Structure 1
């Protein structure tokens, strides 16, 4: 499935949203997650569809995942284990570039240090789309709103405007040859359902997504329950999107950062 075959953007009312896969070509993507496995839960079906169509995708994991897991015997090696799990899961969905920022799990904040790291990577890759966790809390399912998730979304959102496109923000980056860059699209995931305005049809990549999630074995005390929950949620998203019965989808809050009508500073 090519990106052009994803479901069109729509809000809760079904009204057309800002992103039209028929018109907006995606060539490069940077996807941010707070922890190893966040991207696999939230966006790996969409990523698998993109990479199958030749899109270059970079993963960036903000924390080292040291507070995750359930087995006491894993504690000494949990960071290395989770890095390896994430690299393996990424490879299954066609991602070879995995960046780890190394912040402490549970302590992530939208500081200028984190924002600078985001700006540096995005300026280096110069993607069409940045994916990030949603900065707004989901009161319907608060587990989606881990404080690190909210911090990931807030840091990335602050970074892509205005610092990313301001040549005088973090001037050491411009001095190193990383010039200011105007990002076209910010796609937020794992947010409040009322913010959803875009769905991607990932029906052909459900098993790939599940296989990627299964690699994060340190995080799943009940693999069968995890799998059923993920499949069920994707089927529900497809119903909300108006896709055919039996389809599966992932959902996003798509934000147009820069478009032909954008005026600098407004």
Structure 2
């Protein structure tokens, strides 16, 4: 794994607004707290989510983009990019790989965080089909697309984007985590980020207790003990 001192730029690629906050906002807050630059790339606008039937898809998309920007600020992120794909219909296409590779070459991250492309049968919620498609496309964009100067040559010829090698990927929501981050010191910032997504969580009774319980269990799995919180990842070395 990369040493903490080697991580200066992080790119988080997710399917929907709120995905990063459920999966990794505590870790993101730790990164930004020590001066790491973090960029969010959100593939859809979340237009098929939420519970307000008075909003059409465009209205929901606008609302959720705003919620994600507010949530990002809660953990020290000010660079949030949306690719504009349709919520609920994402598939692992060459176009999606190119669009993620473009952002990788623009941002030039040391570490990329994204969804696991594997289905998790122990806990199905992270295995939304959009998540798995985005995770698979992001991994393909990391290897081989972004690092290969001959892949998507228009990115260099038309946009001047040089090839870039992401050295490590952390996957969220998968069935085989092998790396835990203690987020006890940033759990309140994670909760603030999650509460920013009112269209998604305001209806959940005792939401804060649910979050604390879920990430408290991760801390126990990591061996951190009681009254601690952790986020879980599977690490992939790519260099």
Q: The TM-score by the shorter chain falls in which range? A: over 0.9
C-alpha distance in 2, partners of 1:223/1:207?
18
Q: With structure 2 as the length reference, what TM-score do the two structures score?
A: 0.95
Looking at structure 2, the residues matched to 235 and 143 of structure 1 have their Cα atoms a distance apart, in angstroms, of 18
2:142 corresponds to which of 160, 179, 200? 160
Q: Note the C-alpha offset of 1:20.
A: 5.6
Which whole-Å deviations, capped at 9, do the CAs of 1:143-201 have from their partners, x for residues lacking one? 21110010110110111111111110000112222111111101110111xx1110001
C-alpha distance after superposition, 1:54-100 (max 9, x if no partner): 00000011012110011112335111100000000001100000000
Moved more, 42-51 or 172-181: 172-181
Equivalent residue runs for 1:225-236 within 5 Å = 225-236=206-217
- Who is 1:63 aligned against? 44
1:95 pairs with 2:62: no
Structure 1: segments with no counterpart, 5+ residues = 1-18, 259-266
Taking structure 1 as the reference length, the TM-score comes to 0.86
Aligned pairs, number: 237
Alignment correspondent of 1:107: 89
The CA RMSD over aligned residues, in Å, is: 1.3
Match of 1:209 in 2: 190
What is the CA distance between 1:224 and its match in structure 2? 4.0
Q: 1:25-174 residue pairs with structure 2 within 5 A?
A: 25-75=6-56, 77-174=59-156
Structure 2 equivalent of residue 191 of structure 1 = 174
Moved more, 214-223 or 136-145: 214-223
Which one of the candidate residues 219, 224, 228 is aligned to 1:243?
A: 224
By how many angstroms is 1:221 displaced?
Answer: 4.6
What is the alpha-carbon distance in structure 2 between the residues aligned to residue 212 and residue 243 of structure 1?
23
Which segments of 5 or more consecutive residues in structure 2 lack a partner in the other structure? none
Are the equivalent residues in 1 in contact too, given 2:181–2:230 (CA < 8 A)? yes
Worse overlay, 52-61 or 174-183: 174-183
Deviations 1:115-139 (A, max 9, x none): 0011111111111100101100011
Query: Residue deviations 1:206-247, cap 9 Å, x none?
Result: 011011101100112534433222111111111111114211
